[in-house]
Structure 1
Amino acid sequence: MFETSSFDRPRTTSGDLVVDGGRPPYPAAARSVTVPGDKSVSHRALLAAMLPGAPSRLTVRNANLGGAVRALLPAMRTLGFRTTVAADTLTVEHGGPVTPQPKRPHPDITRWPDGVPYLETGGSSAAARLLIGVLAGLGRTAVVDGDETLRHRPMSWLAEPLTRLGADIVHLGDAGRLPVLVRGAVHRPCTVELTVGSAQARSGVLLAAVAAGLPVTVRHPVRSRDHTERMLAAFGATLTESPGEVRYDGGPVTVPPVVDVPADPSLAAYPVAAQLLAGDGGELSVRNVCLNPTRLGFFDVLRRAGADIRYRDMRLGSSGESAGTIAVRGGTKGVDGVRVDDPATLHALIDEVPLLAAVATTLPGPSWIGCAEELRFKETDRLTTTAGMAAAFGARIEVADDGLLVSGGAPLSAGHVPSYEDHRIAMAAATLATCLPGRTTVSGGACHRTSFPDFAEVQRAVGARITEVTPR
């Protein structure tokens, strides 16, 4: 069994999303949309500016500008980097002014070190974990912290292997949680064993090793998203991969002055799902999407179930990622219930589990999404909150220790649905609501800005009637 935190209770600090379900009488014609840059690639591209071999000025084009990526910018400014945001482009330059440090950012932490840079990363676990890895590689002393929600998410997955490599990491609050004091560079070449399949843990270790020029072998229990490996290889790192492990030889990297970020497949999943649920037979294309196989689980699972989803126009980009077009034809006739039975597939759709469960509620028969224990430790316990969100529509989802059993085909209806202030839950709820007659209010749904600021605009381009209402 896994703990369910207090953060799983509904909260409504964001505005609401209001969806008037049922599609207007659009012709069954082809439409095309774009979605923002990939969040994971954007995080890694920003942090590449800190690596040895990075240019004095790094430009990241088509960056994701949601709250999770922006959470890195104050931390980088504190470390002496100048950051500029213009349209969808982020620029990072060396030699910016260092942000003055508060004497003690959180008075409740009694062991706060004086004169140490304080890096606050909001609610972004990727920002915190990857930053810890880079700091440990560079040997830069700093405190890394996050908001109250992030302080409840585990950091030992990363801290323990970095400590084995020689880093000195001190938990200033609860054991295994933020805030942490990072001091002393990794310096012991060895093999580390990761206890979870988290890509953030593997990436943090690899970024530390590359920043230090330290040979390392990382063993991992499951293949998960490999953006870090692809990007580092594109920058010249020698990585050798085999089943269950990746080895880095300690050689240098050269970061190019411009990195182009492909569109985020996790965000493309929402308009694809809306088009699929619309059932009008029309085709939707989402352009320039990252087609990394470790990110395509949502589409591949639905394809196996019978959905008409295709990949076209594939090419290789400067970040080491394949990109192309995802095309989907609307309608779920002939689409069966879905199954996720292995860890690799789960990790290839880990952020889309709430959305996949929402789609599964409309399909005939049972669906199973398993191997999902890690979802207990996201922004919310996403197994519990996904079931709670779906239940508000009338769906039947049973929560197991490691997954969700969806009883498809139950009558669904519009209504008032909680988001639990979790952006993935909010967007899944709003997407499901597009196919249900009547008005649905997703409370706190504006938290979608964490990862997808343009969510409502993109869904309207697909034909949805969705608005954001600011609380009074």
Structure 2
Amino acid sequence: MDISIRPSVLRGKLDVPASKSCAHRSIICAALADGVSHLSGVTMSKDIEATIGAMTALGAEFTVNGGDITVKGTGGKTADSCVIDCNESGSTLRFIIPVAAAIGKSTEFHGRGRLPQRPIDIFIRELGRNGVSFDYHNTMPFTVSGGLRSDIFEIEGDVSSQFITGLLFALPLLDGDSEIVLTSHLESRPYVDITIETLRRFGVSAEETERGFRIKGGQRYRARDEKIEGDYSQAAFFCVANALGSEVELHNLNENSVQGDKKILEIISDMCYNGNIGHYRADCSDIPDLVPVLAVLGAFGNGDSVIYNAKRLKIKESDRLASTSAMLNALGGDVTVTDDGLVIRPTNAMHGGTVDSCGDHRIVMAAAVAATRIDGEVVIKGAEAAEKSYPAFFDDYKMLGGKANVISME
């Protein structure tokens, strides 16, 4: 689907969609709990549907009514073999591999897009020496079988925090105590904080140590009711639109959230003053999802902006450093890819053009934000990619006055 966008000022009130990161984690915890949990305010997307499908395959029962989900948990009991379709969700894949192994379920994992190329080497190594077998040939589908044993798991912290989160879900289910030892600096730490906080609410604890985390075995997840808080990752697109001249009032955000992408508020506050946009140097090791829209903000600044410590973005839904650079350069920007980030130089010559989404939801939404300020038509090819995380994005965009029209359904 290709969409044409004309410049506009977005105005009005918006209930920010529920946090995808929080929803993934609450769904998994509820599915592993004894009893019935009720989750409200969930924003359905392809990624969330993938996690619900995964936990259904592992034995949980879901009743979905719009944004309200009732979950009858498994209590972490062993289940039969199954097939899980992760679609394009890296979170689903890496969160569920150790969970399936912990409950002794032989599981075949499927995926599409770039997901089959996303690395799982850390799990193959660490789970493989603790009772788990992988029939894996560097792509999908692949099969995980055997029963995970408690032990010390040595995990690199600079590849993806998703590996740590997956183990934090699984290790409490084992009989013995385990430890996660970080062998390098933990990047995207706020995502692990979200995991630990969610575990705590569902009755499971993980103790932080000097080396990483210690997890007692034999714990039981407890069912609970909760409302999923708004997503700062999605709010960031409208925060940047506001910095570029729009006037969107955002609701459903938790001011005390541990979401790392809340950092967008601080970055904008530091660089935008008296209606002027400055420039920034942003360490994005903890906030990788902000990079595309941060680059848009930098393109309209008054000096060179630098994004660094973002090398891991090369293995997202697209090579997100390359696709972000290509998106802005197609619109008259001057963005250079570095070894671990981007340099964004304002040109004062941004214009209409055609953007290839590269199948990446965040490129689509960042381009739509840039289009609010650009003089001319912006065409986004493959705009349906936004459905991965924010299916109602263009509905909300147009509700706020955005001028977006579908020009091709191919």
Same fold, TM-score > 0.5, yes or no: yes
Contact 1:385 1:425 in 2 (8 A): yes
CA RMSD of aligned residues (A): 2.4
Q: 1:110 maps to which residue?
A: none
Percentage identity across paired residues of the two chains: 25
Counterpart check, 1:179 vs 2:160: no
Output the CA distance in 2 between the equivalents of 1:294 and 1:169: 34
Counterpart check, 1:368 vs 2:349: no
Q: 2:239 maps to which residue?
A: 272
Q: From 12, 15, 19, give the equivalent of 2:5.
A: 19
Alignment of 1:9-408 (within 5 A): 15-23=1-9, 31-51=12-32, 54-93=33-72, 116-164=81-129, 166-174=130-138, 177-220=139-182, 221-223=185-187, 224=189, 225=191, 226-242=193-209, 245-250=212-217, 252-278=219-245, 282=247, 284-289=249-254, 291-306=257-272, 332-333=275-276, 335-341=277-283, 346-408=284-346
Could you report, residue by residue, the CA deviation over 1:182-240 in whole angstroms, capped at 9, with x for unpaired residues? 22222232242325352211101111202225422223322521221111122232322
Contact 1:222 1:244 in 2 (8 A): no
- In terms of mean alpha carbon deviation, does 72-81 or 386-395 score higher? 72-81
Output the CA distance in 1 between the equivalents of 2:165 and 2:260: 14
The offset of 1:148, in angstroms, is 4.5
Counterpart check, 1:458 vs 2:400: no
Output the CA distance in 1 between the equivalents of 2:96 and 2:106: 12
Amino acid across the alignment from 1:130: F
Q: 1:192 aligns to what SS in structure 2? A: strand
Output the CA distance in 2 between the equivalents of 1:454 and 1:259: 23
Query: Any gaps of 5 or more consecutive residues in structure 1?
Result: 1-14, 96-114, 308-330
- In terms of mean alpha carbon deviation, does 72-81 or 436-445 score higher? 72-81
Contact 1:23 1:434 in 2 (8 A): yes
Query: Any gaps of 5 or more consecutive residues in structure 2?
Result: 75-79
The offset of 1:242, in angstroms, is 4.4
State the TM-score, normalized to the length of structure 2.
0.90
Q: 2:196 aligns to what SS in structure 1? A: helix
Output the CA distance in 2 between the equivalents of 1:80 and 1:191: 27
Distance change >3 Å, CA 300–CA 243, structure 1 → 2: farther
Distance change >3 Å, CA 222–CA 195, structure 1 → 2: closer
Q: 1:11 maps to which residue?
A: none
Distance change >3 Å, CA 304–CA 361, structure 1 → 2: same
Contact 1:296 1:348 in 2 (8 A): no
Distance change >3 Å, CA 461–CA 338, structure 1 → 2: farther
